[in-house]
Structure 1
Amino acid sequence: MSSLVKAFSRNRAEEMGADLWGDFVVPPYFDRLPVMHVRKPYVIVGGRGCGKTTLLRYWSYHSQFSKNRTELPAEVFETIGLYIRTDIQFLSSFVGSGIDDVQWKRAFEHALCLSVADELLGCLTTINCTPERTDQYGHLEDLDFSALAAFDAAIPTDFRSMHKHIKQSRFKLSSWINNLSSEIPAPIFYPLRTFIGALIETIHTLPYLKESVFSVFVDEYESFLDYQQVFVNSLLKLSQPPLVFHVAMKRNGMPNRRTTGPEYIQDPADFRTIDIEKEQGDDFEMFAAELFFFRLIRENISLDGNPIDPTLLRDPAKLNDRRGNASYRAALRSVMERVLPSVSISEIAAGVLKEPSLKKRLIETIDAGLVRNNPGTLTPTDFVDEKFPEASIVVAALLHQRKKSADVYAEFQKLTTGKSSSFEEWTHHFLFGALLFIYVPLSRSCPLYSGFQTFISLAQGNARHFLELCLLATGRVGRKGTAQENGQITVSVEDQAEAARECSAKFLEDIKGSGNYGTQLYQVATTIGQIFKLHQQRPAQSEPEKNHFAVTNGNTSDSAAAILKEAEKWGVLVGRKETKVKGLKYESQEYYLNPVFSPTYGISYRAGRKLDLAAATADKILLGDDMEATKVIREFERSWRLDSDQMSLIDGVQ
């Protein structure tokens, strides 16, 4: 495996281990997250790949007390993070099998209690992970856990035996779950809050931990069963020092806010919400570039002009030195654009006229427009001028609109003779879509999907998507059009475009593994993608770059609304508030197909035009099977009257 591939191959926190002290790049929004300094629970929200898990692992004791950290400042002992990740397969089995619901609730509480206890005792081991630290802190042998024998007579008194007992108790619980039988007695179930409270009391006898507050970060909250979420909600409600619970989840991951009592949890009375993707905002470009350069340095890859200082990136106190430094941000962008260069839209248009197969498609499209809608003496060559490639491309769309060929030609003549013409406005509106129209049916990689800024747009604030794009792009270094020598790395535009297409297909396929509705969400994504592709391949390009939709003329069914929420949760669709009022119609929400899927369908990744879907049609798209999806696509095909000689667009729907 090449060093470049290794640099970007790890794009999940789980692949980097529990200790992230040397690998964590402090995100630009970090100082807006007072989680470790306040005593109120937080609900941390964000899609897959936005960095939730990385953040929680950095806050946990594994990183904060890393053996690679040379000094431990006093404040690190004020709040100690404990990281709990949901074991979906294990906890999903806590139901049925002849065991009543009350027993299962107690078993779940016991399981979570053991996880927290294991983390509490584990943090003591990590704090004292070196002889020097043991000399400075230590005293684990002085801990006396005899008070906990009230919960279970088998609980030992000394630290090492206690930690071993907790681990063995987790094994016993797993064994009981796996062998449910009346002949095998259930283990003693510990009550979480009182048991952990007693455990913390004992830990507080250590001088260096006597004032410590323990923050429990429960990851993937959305994967808990309903009654399990209710119990965790209660933990949020009842949180107070020295034990505070926080949860992290995907968007729409908290379907209800019930507790085990009569109350519901409320924001901000009981917790505060942090939306990671909203917090990133316009700083994602800077952060993505920093991740790129940081990964190169970690693999000892030299790059001329690399503007980052790894020490600076790991220091939360230096955030303003990054965010507020315009020259630093400009340097990041400059070097990234050297590594992932782009070509202007004018250059892409010029390339169409130079490449035989692309020019042939342009000429055929212009000719079809003349023959069908604008009969006369003009020919395609009258509208193609290599000195004015952008206008030549746009003509292909104009001649399929309700414009007379003579009028278009007159404006074209004005342009070519240096006079003011309508082409300035036409080019602004139609060039991007017209280029996609020419490229996509030929199965060619389109250079519109290349360039650092484009990769940022495709990633849409998702670090995992950005790193995968970089992995696939830099993985082509050494092939035609790329270079890596003398501190230079440059990925050709063609290789970037191919990487974008490959990455898009990969993440589209990954949708199938998106929870319980993965197959349905994949169906939704492919159907919507095909519809937008269908619209993009209208030769008139009257409403180019259509890539999002809103539901009008009624509301979707409850089942369809649930699928919409799942699509948002798993990042298939990106929901945004819609504030435009058209007549008597008001849309409160519109949905974008995730930009990372754009190269698969040859559609725009930019914020384009909106498709209004009747509620009945939306229901068919969201709930229908493969046959229903094909019918919907064919209905759009008929309504948009695609030319008979267009390529078939009803492909890949399954």
Structure 2
Amino acid sequence: MPALADAFLKNRADNLPPDVFQEFIVPPFFQHISIFKDSKSVRILGGRGCGKTMFLRFFCHGSTFSAHRENIGDEEFSNLGLYFRPDTGFCSLMTAEWLQKPKDGFAFSHYLTLSLVAEICQAIKNIDAAENLAGGSLNLSKARLGQTLVRQLELPEPTIEALQLLIEQRMADFDLWVRNPDQCELPRFVHFSTILTALANDLANHSPRLDALAFRVFVDEFENLLPRQQEIVCDAIKHPSQRFAVHIAHKRDAVTDLKTSREERIVELHDIRTIDLESNLVKDNDFEVLAAELFLFRIYQANGVVACPSFRPELLHDPVHLPYRLTEGCWR
């Protein structure tokens, strides 16, 4: 049955669109963890292929504001997820040897800022296109931007459209400068903490429904960043704000020192909480339950016959349905 076998080939989140809501199966341990009860950062650990990327993207704007969800409440704006995975080859150019210190650190902060603002612009498009917001449309693209963004980014107009066009241009110019630092004009560096905070405030001013708006930045493959770049991310983890926090994911044991740009270190529980995906999955009978659901779900996606009355694929993707899935009569 080649068609049925093909259903099991799609096993990398990298090959999926930003909206993974209908692909992600909420694991049983979701009943024991919390991601956003406070602004504290979270570290996601696990081996290769355990689902770290899929886990992160489930919490990002593509899935949060998925067209497949119903009645998305305004509380989702307090945790607007932004996904960032470093371009390893490009980031490896931002060294003190190539760009000269301290421009290497300024350059990475600038690159991260441009990447995240581009993500926010895409999130605004997704939210404006959503027809399933419980409170109705917000028209975020009509938000007026304040003086911090206008002056620091040199925006020609205080609009989201102008911001998106400018970010595309700045990213292209920045790419050329990093690859040809002696032949291109030095960029005007900006920092993500200032820009994201200002943008969040401007969007919050657009509607009372966005008063609690906050960005949650998910940095995937943290171990692939250079040491100086890891320190910059750790600085943000050490000093979260009301408007944004940074979370990271990396392979277990791939990062042994979460050092900031000073001599401070990120401290477990005080600065960050760790969620080990594999350790959580081996508790109780959780892995067997999830594996069974995934197996049946892949057959269902391939239009195969699933002769299991307890299996309800429409209940796999939302944490609110976990109590049913974990009842004795369902699987256990």
**TM-score greater than 0.5 by the shorter chain:** yes
Q: Which has the larger radius of gyration?
A: 1
> Aligned letter for 2:172?
F
Match of 1:283 among 281, 286, 290: 286
Identity of aligned residues (%): 30
Q: Structure 1 residue 316: deviation in Å?
A: 0.6
Partner of 1:298: 301
Is 1:328 the counterpart of 2:306 in the alignment?
Answer: no
Is 1:194 the counterpart of 2:194 in the alignment?
Answer: yes
Cα RMSD after superposing both structures: 2.1
Is 1:309 the counterpart of 2:312 in the alignment?
Answer: yes
Partner of 1:537: none
2-structure distance, mates of 1:313, 1:195: 37
1-structure distance, mates of 2:50, 2:161: 38
Instruction: Call closer, same or farther: CA 1:75–1:201 in 2, change over 3 Å.
Output: closer
Is 1:85 the counterpart of 2:85 in the alignment?
Answer: yes
> Aligned letter for 1:81?
G
Q: With CA pairs under 8 Å and 6+ residues apart, which has the higher RCO, 1 or 2?
A: 2
2-structure distance, mates of 1:214, 1:255: 27
Q: Structure 1 residue 135: deviation in Å?
A: 6.3
Is 1:15 the counterpart of 2:15 in the alignment?
Answer: yes
2-structure distance, mates of 1:61, 1:273: 22
Is 1:156 the counterpart of 2:157 in the alignment?
Answer: yes
Partner of 1:549: none
Q: Structure 1 residue 100: deviation in Å?
A: 1.0
Instruction: Call closer, same or farther: CA 1:312–1:227 in 2, change over 3 Å.
Output: same
2-structure distance, mates of 1:213, 1:4: 42
> Aligned letter for 1:101?
K
**What are the superposed Cα offsets for residues 213-239 of structure 1, whole Å, 9 maximum, x if unpaired?**
211111110110011111111110001
Q: Structure 1 residue 16: deviation in Å?
A: 1.8
Partner of 2:176: 175
Partner of 2:223: 222
> Aligned letter for 1:159?
I
Q: Structure 1 residue 31: deviation in Å?
A: 2.4
Q: Structure 1 residue 39: deviation in Å?
A: 1.6
Partner of 2:38: 38
Instruction: Call closer, same or farther: CA 1:263–1:43 in 2, change over 3 Å.
Output: same
Normalising by structure 1, report the TM-score: 0.48
Unaligned runs of 5+ in 2: none
> Aligned letter for 1:184?
C
Q: Contact (CA 8 Å) 2:215, 2:243: kept in 1 or not?
A: yes
**What are the superposed Cα offsets for residues 194-221 of structure 1, whole Å, 9 maximum, x if unpaired?**
1221121111112132211211111110
Partner of 2:61: 61
Q: Structure 1 residue 89: deviation in Å?
A: 1.4
2-structure distance, mates of 1:226, 1:184: 26
> Aligned letter for 1:202?
D
**What are the superposed Cα offsets for residues 425-478 of structure 1, whole Å, 9 maximum, x if unpaired?**
xxxxxxxxxxxxxxxxxxxxxxxxxxxxxxxxxxxxxxxxxxxxxxxxxxxxxx
**What are the superposed Cα offsets for residues 65-114 of structure 1, whole Å, 9 maximum, x if unpaired?**
01232421232223111111121111111125542120111000100111
2-structure distance, mates of 1:231, 1:160: 29
2-structure distance, mates of 1:25, 1:35: 17
Q: Contact (CA 8 Å) 1:114, 1:170: kept in 2 or not?
A: yes
Unaligned runs of 5+ in 1: 331-654
> Aligned letter for 1:94?
M
1-structure distance, mates of 2:292, 2:132: 38
Pairs within 5 Å for 1:504-515: none
2-structure distance, mates of 1:66, 1:206: 22
Indicate the SS of the match to 1:169.
helix
Partner of 1:263: 264
Instruction: Call closer, same or farther: CA 1:291–1:77 in 2, change over 3 Å.
Output: same
Q: Contact (CA 8 Å) 1:203, 1:209: kept in 2 or not?
A: yes
Q: Contact (CA 8 Å) 2:22, 2:68: kept in 1 or not?
A: yes
Indicate the SS of the match to 2:35.
helix
Indicate the SS of the match to 1:205.
helix
Q: Structure 1 residue 164: deviation in Å?
A: 1.6
1-structure distance, mates of 2:310, 2:212: 41
Partner of 1:620: none
How many residues align structurally?
Answer: 328
Partner of 1:204: 204
Q: Structure 1 residue 184: deviation in Å?
A: 1.2
Q: Contact (CA 8 Å) 1:37, 1:79: kept in 2 or not?
A: no
> Aligned letter for 2:148?
A
**What are the superposed Cα offsets for residues 6-52 of structure 1, whole Å, 9 maximum, x if unpaired?**
31111111122210111111111112221133221111111111111
Indicate the SS of the match to 1:43.
strand
Instruction: Call closer, same or farther: CA 1:16–1:153 in 2, change over 3 Å.
Output: closer
2-structure distance, mates of 1:320, 1:276: 20
Q: Contact (CA 8 Å) 1:39, 1:244: kept in 2 or not?
A: yes
Q: Which has the higher helix share?
A: 1
1-structure distance, mates of 2:247, 2:98: 33
Normalising by structure 2, report the TM-score: 0.92
Is 1:107 the counterpart of 2:107 in the alignment?
Answer: yes
